[in-house]
Amino acid sequence: MFTGIVEELGEVTAVENLHDASRFRLRGPVVTDGAKHGDSIAVNGVCLTVVTLDGDEFTADVMAETLDRSSLGALVPGSKVNLERPTAVGARLGGHIVQGHVDGTGTLVDRKASENWEIVKVSLPGPLARYVVEKGSITVDGVSLTVVDAGPDYFTISLIPTTLALTTLGSKQPGDPVNLEVDIVAKYVERLLGTRAEAPAEAPAEAFADAPAGAAAVAGEAGR
């Protein structure tokens, strides 16, 4: 699990295109410190597994599903990426609960700068809009952010100077894709409520038609 608090701005140093996957080599002195084979590192909000380590660089395999659901396929050597290690149990949850499981991609539509911050507008796929609410949390390229305005097919975020300077969001331009992960809590609540609504209010009478009288009576008492 991650929190969406980016630890460093890393760099893609090599991309190997395989038949149905890609292998990325990335540089990140902070996230590789103490890392080992099999550890997880979030790259632009996508949870990837460390395959090899070489100094301050690591490699990670990216399967077709991840390439289809995220913007990682657009990365080339020299691309900057947001990097974060998993949060430790008992550590402060500085952002919000982030799984590193991208729900889809959006597009940076517009950015308006003021003296000390910027408002950025991002489009999002229609099916994800119901999970995005004003003042709620959303992960954009691995960065935990607060939604300013939530529209039917877009949302806006406000970026402070630190976010602009230390993450890829400072250099993204209109038309650039971004990875989106919506609030996992909202998705679970929706699924649970949907399952509850579909469940029958009580067992049909025919379910007890062949049961002994005592069993039917007990079932009836339990349903009260």
Domain boundaries, the chain: 8-84, 104-197
pLDDT of residue 214 exceeding 80: no
Count of residues for the chain? 224
Kindly report, residue by residue over 40-74, the tens digit of the pLDDT: 999 999 999 999 999 999 999 999 999 999 999 99
pLDDT of 186 reads 87
Residue of 211, 111, 194, 106 whose CA lies nearest to 154: 106
CB 142 within 8 A of CB 41: no
Cβ neighbours of residue 34 closer than 8 Å, sequence gap 6 or more: none
The mean pLDDT of 82-109, rounded to a whole number, is: 91
pLDDT of residue 215 exceeding 50: no
Mean pLDDT taken over the chain: 88
Tell me how far apart the alpha carbons of residues 156 and 205 are, in angstroms, rounded to a whole number. 53
CB 7 within 8 A of CB 82: no
Side chain identity at residue 152, one-letter code: P
pLDDT of 36 reads 94
Domain 8-84 -> CATH class? mainly beta
pLDDT of residue 114 exceeding 60: yes
Q: What percent of the chain has pLDDT over 90?
A: 72
Q: DSSP letter at 173? A: -
Tell me how far apart the alpha carbons of residues 139 and 198 are, in angstroms, rounded to a whole number. 31
pLDDT of residue 217 exceeding 60: no
Beta strands in the chain (DSSP E): 8-17, 21-27, 40-43, 46-54, 57-63, 80-84, 104-113, 118-123, 137-140, 143-150, 154-159, 177-181
| Res. 204 pLDDT band, cuts 50 70 90 | low
CATH code assigned to 104-197 = 2.40.30.20
pLDDT of 201 reads 57
Tell me how far apart the alpha carbons of residues 7 and 82 are, in angstroms, rounded to a whole number. 8
* pTM score: 0.83
Tell me how far apart the alpha carbons of residues 165 and 135 are, in angstroms, rounded to a whole number. 23
Cβ neighbours of residue 183 closer than 8 Å, sequence gap 6 or more: 96, 97, 131, 136, 137, 138
Strand 104-113 versus strand 177-181 pairing type: antiparallel
pLDDT of 54 reads 95
The mean pLDDT of 175-191, rounded to a whole number, is: 92
